[in-house]
Structure 1
Amino acid sequence: MIKVSLFLTRRADLTREAFSEHWMNKHWPIVQTVPEVMEATRHYVQLHNIDGLPSAVSPAPYDGIAEVWFDSKEAAIRVMTSKNWASIVAEDDRLFLDTTKTVAMFSEERVDYRPS
């Protein structure tokens, strides 16, 4: 299983609340219209920054993180390079993201601790 983590920064003209509202209630429904996404995605979660870290901890410079799980790196690449991704998802990205600051990471879980 491959995870794609997308580290997101809101547009400078949006509040964190407006960013979260768009991402949850407008962007996610749009993403769900893309057949490639719905066929290949195994798990999806949005992590919204809520602040509140202790002062001794440096906060991440992101407003949110999207985690998307795929069966393989190739499946993730097929989705992210599809015509529908470019014409539907990326177009909506511009309405709430500073896309020049979006970064991504492919990863595999190596440790999964769950207390009993």
Structure 2
Amino acid sequence: MVKHTPMLAQPQPGAPKVYRYVQLHSLADTVSGLRTTSYDGVAEIWFANLGDAAAMFTSDHYNAVVAADEAHILDRSKTVFLYAYEKPIP
């Protein structure tokens, strides 16, 4: 992932700004009685708005370069996106 990470954390000039990029790697440990996902990890990529996310993930550069690299490290047929906003709880 050394090559892949900068592609998302520091995208092409003119691409939407990525405000935060976090990789969450799953633990081998589990909690008894709780179901565990089969995902081995999740990436959080923060943009200013949904339009910026759409621009990034539908761009020619993403599809030709980033997605092509992802094919070497993950099963793209199982890739799903969750668009969300952060709601801090006081």
Please indicate, yes or no, whether the TM-score normalized by the shorter chain is above 0.5. Answer: yes
Aligned AA (1:55): S
RMSD: 2.1
More strand by share: 1
Q: Which residue of 2 aligns with 1:84?
A: 61
Q: Which residue of 2 aligns with 1:18?
A: none
TM-score, length-scaled by structure 1: 0.68
Q: Which residue of 2 aligns with 1:62?
A: 39
1:109 and 1:79 map into 2 onto residues whose CA distance is 20
For structure 2, the residue ranges without an aligned partner over 5 or more in a row are none
More helix by share: 1
Does 1:98 find its partner at 2:38? no
Report which stretch shifted further, 40-49 or 29-38: 29-38
TM-score, length-scaled by structure 2: 0.85
Q: Could you tell me the percent identity over the aligned residues?
A: 31
* Structure 1 ranges of 4+ moved more than 4 A: 36-39
